[in-house]
Structure 1
Amino acid sequence: MELAETHTLPVSQQQTWDALNDTEILRACIPGCESIDPDGENAYLVALSAAVGPVKARFKGRMQLTDIDAPNTYTIVFEGQGGAAGFAKGNAQVTLEADGDAATKLSYTANAQVGGKLAQIGSRLVDGAARKIAGEFFKRFSAQFSGGEDNDAKAPPSGDASAAQTESNQAADGESGGEEKKGKKSWTAWISKF
């Protein structure tokens, strides 16, 4: 599987670099992430829950930052085991480039291999799930800088408490409910309009 994207973030290159190296920010932004704990220099133990099609699992793995050229680029090398669900391993090259004084272009190219049940469900589902997770990460990551959605426990300004609670539950569940949660969120949002 290969995934390559570019995102523009509304902060300076140094602020983006600092945030990408802050484990608390990453834990809050990675969908389903339960923990990121240091494991040596530029290495971390990661635990997260994920759903890829019909396969739902809790993955434990390690990620190592290599080829570090602060605040411009680094490579993330990762591997994780999900028990019967299978494994994933690969790397991602991340590049930051200033886009004026107050914006940064973040580009990445990720290559991954999956095995076990994950490999059996097909590359289209795996690629789709990877793109969805990446999209949610960047949505949350951008929100860290804009001050919005950085705390799921906040009361919503519109007074739509039921939709906010559903979003908060999704974050707390690590989005392990997948499509079920989405249906509930949509249904709750639709009901609240009346």
Structure 2
Amino acid sequence: MDINGEERIAAPRSVVWAALNDPEILRQCIPGCQSLEQRSPTELAATVKVKIGPVSASFSGEVTLSDMIPPESYRIAGEGKGGIAGFAKGFADVALTEDGNETILRYNVDAQVGGKLAQLGSRLIGSTSQKLAQQFFASFNAVVGAGNATTDA
């Protein structure tokens, strides 16, 4: 399933790029994130707890950053296993465009699920995935934009 969107962030592109590569900021913004540990500059380990319809599960997995063109774009890919709930995997292509003192962050997410989760139906999976992606980018916008506003004051 494909999910597209954009956020206007009240921060310069260099600040947004740094935040996209900061595990602590990412941990704060990922819905249900229990832990996020940086293993290398491009690899992270994550534990995320999510509820999709009647199924609640903790997923443990890997996150990899690739196709990096600092400070313009990258691909963030992840794969997690949730025991009997199944698995989730996907990626997001993220692009940053300067617009004065603000940054336009555009994203294209492609996600797949399998196992018990896949049995819930594509409409529920799709709407929940879109909601989670929107929550992440809205939270990211709030954290980065607010942080930038306080440093400029």
Q: TM-score, normalised by structure 2?
A: 0.90
Query: By how many angstroms is 1:64 displaced?
Result: 0.6
**What does residue 10 of structure 1 align with?**
10
Q: Rg bigger for which structure?
A: 1
Q: Deviations over 1:104-136 (max 9, x none)?
A: 111111112110011110111111111211222
d(CA) in 2 for partners of 1:73 and 1:113? 22
The amino acid across from 1:125 in the alignment is L
Higher relative strand content: 2
Query: By how many angstroms is 1:142 displaced?
Result: 2.0
**What does residue 150 of structure 2 align with?**
none
d(CA) in 1 for partners of 2:89 and 2:82? 11
- Which has the higher relative contact order, 1 or 2, with Cα contacts under 8 A spaced 6 or more apart? 2
**What does residue 63 of structure 1 align with?**
63
Query: By how many angstroms is 1:139 displaced?
Result: 2.6
Unaligned runs of 5+ residues in structure 1 are: 149-194
Moved beyond 4 Å, runs of 4+: none
Q: TM-score, normalised by structure 1?
A: 0.72
**What does residue 116 of structure 2 align with?**
117
**What does residue 36 of structure 1 align with?**
36
* Alignment check: 8 A CA contact 2:11 2:145 kept: no
Query: By how many angstroms is 1:145 displaced?
Result: 3.3
The amino acid across from 1:72 in the alignment is E
The amino acid across from 2:81 in the alignment is Q
The amino acid across from 1:127 in the alignment is G
Please tell me the root mean square deviation across aligned C-alpha atoms, in Å: 1.4
Instruction: Give the SS at the match of 1:39.
Output: strand
